Amino acid sequence: MTTPKDLKRHLRREALGRRDALDPFWRVEAALEMAETARDSIAMEPGQIVSGFWPMRSEVDIRPLMFALREKGARLCLPAILDKTTIVFRELVRGAPMVDMGFGTVGPHEEAEVLDPQVMLVPLAAFDARGHRIGYGAGYYDRAIARLVDKGQPPRLIGIAFDCQEVALVPDEPHDVIISEILTENGLRRFAPKL
């Protein structure tokens, strides 16, 4: 019998294979297009705290997108892996030292201020038309989002992916976090909240 976890593993592998197969030059153009969409479509209050991520492997390079949001007044932060279960978000300040975070990514040095994001740009491996996502399997973001919700500070969640990462249906599990918006090269998609 196939479990939801097994099915997610299979869907993740297939979606990441499609993403890996994208032309690297096309991915650069798509990332720039997504930055323009974000500038035009994502409302931002000056000083609003936005968490991004440093791209790894074939992920969307959201650095141009983060720059566009900074130009709108956002205060940026990146995830920092503390241990096998926990990430925090450290402020990204121009010129501050960056350190290796493992998994082929970097983040601000431990002296950087830890912030609670109000908007989270969430990396994902796959998603469906309901806003259900499949992450990379470690649960870092699920736990970080849950901590913010528990503090009474639920963030606005915007998944970041290429359209080729969409799957027909992500199996539901009780711990799943629904992403209400997903930005791809074809625009910002909004999903109805689960009733």
Q: Which residues are annotated as a binding site for substrate?
A: 59
**Which residue positions form the known binding site for ATP?**
8-12, 133-141
Residue ranges for the known binding site are: 8-12, 59, 133-141
Please tell me what DSSP assigns to residue 132. Answer: B
In tens, the pLDDT along 98-139 reads: 888 777 778 898 899 999 999 999 999 999 999 999 998 888
CB 42 within 8 A of CB 4: no
| Burial tier of 121 (Cβ tally within 10 Å: 0-12, 13-18, 19+) | buried
Q: Contact, 94 vs 84, CB < 8 A?
A: no
| Residue ranges of domains in the chain, CATH in brackets | 4-190 (3.40.50.10420)
Over the stretch 45-79, which tens digit does the pLDDT of each residue have?
999 999 999 998 999 999 999 999 999 999 999 99
